[in-house]
Amino acid sequence: MKQDPVTHRVRQAADRLVRLSGATWYYITATARKALEDDILFLTSGLAFNIVLSLVPILLLSASAFGIILNSSTETVKRLNEFLNVMVPAQPYLRASGNLCSVLCRISWLIEGRLVYSASGCSCLLRRRSSMQSGAC
């Protein structure tokens, strides 16, 4: 008995879908089985721990770079002051409370401490690198 072409195509598509879903299911289960064998949750927690510990030296080096950039020219500091004057409105209670002065004082503190941040960041990175190479976390 002959099938019409539409029914034949539908059956072929259904067969392909069944084969594809079986292969997909096998791939998903094999991946999950391998992840459980390799204890992937333990490995990802170790990776997250190392990333968090590496953030401290990176932030110190970023603060150092920011201080070096701000100290490179008076034009940069002048533009930053203009930006802060625009961002912090000229209202008497804000200026009297010292909010603007506090920000400018923090920036000058950052510029003055740039060498300390750089040295601290480099030493922290070297320590992290040596502890990661030795196998200790």
Q: Please give the full DSSP string across 11-44, using - where no structure is assigned.
A: HHHHHHHHHHHHHHHHHHHHHHHHHHHTTHHHHH
pLDDT of residue 55: 85
Q: Is the pLDDT of residue 91 over 70?
A: no
Q: Indicate if 70 and 108 belong to the same structural domain.
A: yes
pLDDT of residue 98: 58
pLDDT of residue 95: 56
Indicate the pLDDT class of residue 78, thresholds 50, 70 and 90.
confident
Find out whether 53 and 100 touch, Cβ atoms under 8 Å.
no
Q: Is the pLDDT of residue 137 over 50?
A: no
To the question of pTM greater than 0.75 for the whole model, the response is: no
Q: Is the pLDDT of residue 36 over 60?
A: yes
Query: For the chain, what is the domain count?
Result: 2
Indicate the pLDDT class of residue 41, thresholds 50, 70 and 90.
confident
Q: Indicate if 70 and 17 belong to the same structural domain.
A: no
Cα–Cα distance measured from residue 7 to residue 9, given in angstroms and rounded to the nearest whole number = 5
> Torsion over CA of 56, 61, 64 and 66, rounded to 10 degrees?
-100
* Rg of the chain (C-alpha set): 30
Which domain covers residue 14, as residue numbers?
1-38
